[in-house]
Amino acid sequence: MTRTLIAGNWKMNGLKSSLGEIRDAAAGVGQGKAGVEALLCVPATLLTLAAEAAHGSALRVGGETCHAAESGAHTGDVSAEMLADAGATHVIVGHSERRTDHAESNETAALRAGMTPIICIGESLDQRKAGETLEFVASQIAGSIPDGAAAEQIVIAYEPIWAIGTGEVATPDQIDEVHTAIRTRLAERFGADAADLIPLLYGGSMKPGNAAEILAVKDVNGGLIGGASLKAADFLAIYGQAK
């Protein structure tokens, strides 16, 4: 059965004074519920403290990016090993903001460190208008999943760039079309049974008020939530709607 994952992405937000939100989220998640995982991806500066704050609950913490190398002369970067050492179980890779700002696309480091990469894909508004969405997303899948990756190791997040942080949400029909196409591509690569194990998250202006409708779309197995994950109450309201 496909796991459901409700994952927050704090982006470049959060100071030590924000740890109360992690504690509240951990208290709300408690020992969790069957088949649904809860995760908050936070800035590297907060990871150790966030992992401590979530300790004893089913809430997991993750990183937002990592370098492909284990260590070395890469000033300012963090490796998957470092994130894992700080308590991360997952790491977001290839987020559109990272692709734009840092030409990122590589997720192999996370696999090597035994972490689950959340591989982000999604089209721009121009690509959607040009009718290139499915082709582009398929090319991103082909380019972002490393050779040798096992289906049970990865998570994919479909995040239409035009829906990120804009308040504009893809319609259930749009999400359905792309998620179905992603599952088909994954089935070609891994076989149908293994492809069904890969959680497909939707991301882009997801919030408590639209989560139920999005999570009900076939082949949506959770969400990657930016703005609405910063407050524990909103994050928990979304988690509460996940089955």
Which is catalytic among the residues 21, 95, 97, 179? Answer: 95
Q: Determine, following the binding rule CB under 6 A, whether residue 20 of this chain makes contact with ligand PGA.
A: no
Measure the CA–CA gap between 156 and 158, rounded to whole angstroms.
7
Shortest Cβ 73–ligand PGA spacing (Å): 30
209 binds ligand PGA (CB under 6 A): no
**Residue 9 touching ligand PGA (CB under 6 A):** yes
Q: Using the rule CB under 6 A, is 121 a contact of ligand PGA?
A: no
* Residue among 201, 5, 4, 183 at smallest CA distance from 119: 201
- Which range binds ligand PGA by CB under 6 A, 14-22, 54-62, 178-186, 218-226? 218-226
Among 141-149, 181-189, 200-208, 212-220, which window interacts with ligand PGA (CB under 6 A)? Answer: 200-208
Return the residue nearest ligand PGA (CB atom): 226
Q: Using the rule CB under 6 A, which residue among 94, 204, 208, 222 binds ligand PGA?
A: 204
Cβ proximity of 201 and 226 under 8 Å:
no
SS3 assignment, position 116: strand
Q: Which position among 165, 191, 218, 233 is part of the footprint of ligand PGA (CB under 6 A)?
A: 165
Give the interface segment with ligand PGA, choosing from 50-58, 102-110, 209-217, 219-227 (CB under 6 A): 219-227
Out of 164, 170, 195, 236, point to the residue binding ligand PGA (CB under 6 A): 164
Q: Identify the CA nearest to 183 among candidates 219, 150, 143.
A: 219
- In the complex, least distance from residue 224 CB atom to ligand PGA, rounded to whole angstroms: 4
Give how far Cα 82 sits from Cα of 72, 91, 110, Å: 12, 11, 10
Per-residue b/e over 195-222, b at no fewer than 16 CB within 10 Å?
Answer: bbbbbbbbbbbbbbebbeebbebebbbb
Residue with tokens 């020992």: 31
Instruction: Check if 159 is active-site.
Output: yes
- Rounded Cα gap, residues 8 and 222, in angstroms: 11
CB of 228 to ligand PGA, least distance (A): 6
Question: How far apart are the C-alpha atoms of 153 and 116, rounded to whole Å?
Answer: 6
Amino acid occupying residue 2: T
Residues in contact with ligand PGA by CB under 6 A are 9, 159, 164-165, 203-206, 224-228
Known catalytic residues?
95, 159
